[in-house]
Amino acid sequence: NVLNRINPDFIRMRSMIARPGTPMHDRLERGEWQHLRDEEVVREQQLFIQNLDGIESHFISDHMNNLLMELNGKFPEAKEDLLATIDRYLGLPPEEKLHFSVGRRLGYYERLDDLEVEEARANVDDSIQRLNRNFDGDIEEALIKCRQQMT
């Protein structure tokens, strides 16, 4: 509501991550807070964008911690395209969502279209196997640790 009322020139999306040594990480360690999984973050972004109305702001999601860095455009024209990108991700089968998350976090993918790049897919497949071994199948936890390292 605040953004709709002030109609800022620029809205930059940042996904929350608690880095070690911060008060938020202390809350995480005490079990008072938890990181969202990638799909949960994307659903929050979807709700956020759906509720932006009557603005002429430039919207960008350009931080390495953001899963869908391709979300970029000027409102109101770009709103439907931004939501279509989110819908495209949410419509992927679970194994493809995981594949994209791993590929994005490890730098093999930048955009959803990169899922079609065979060489990158092979590298991500290898990475998923290693992550499954090293994190006892909890790849989402490995992705959170990866996000904590990004600045």
Residue 83 tokens read as 């939501």
Q: Is the pLDDT higher at 151 or at 8?
A: 8
The whole-number pLDDT of residue 79 equals 97
The whole-number pLDDT of residue 150 equals 65
**Alpha-carbon 126 to chain mean position:** 22
Calculate mean pLDDT across residues 76-93. 97
* β-sheet bridge partners, residue 11: 59
Long-range pairs for 88-96 at CB < 8 Å and ≥24 separation?
Answer: 88/112, 89/42, 90/39, 90/42, 90/43, 90/46
Long-range pairs for 134-139 at CB < 8 Å and ≥24 separation?
Answer: 139/98, 139/101, 139/102
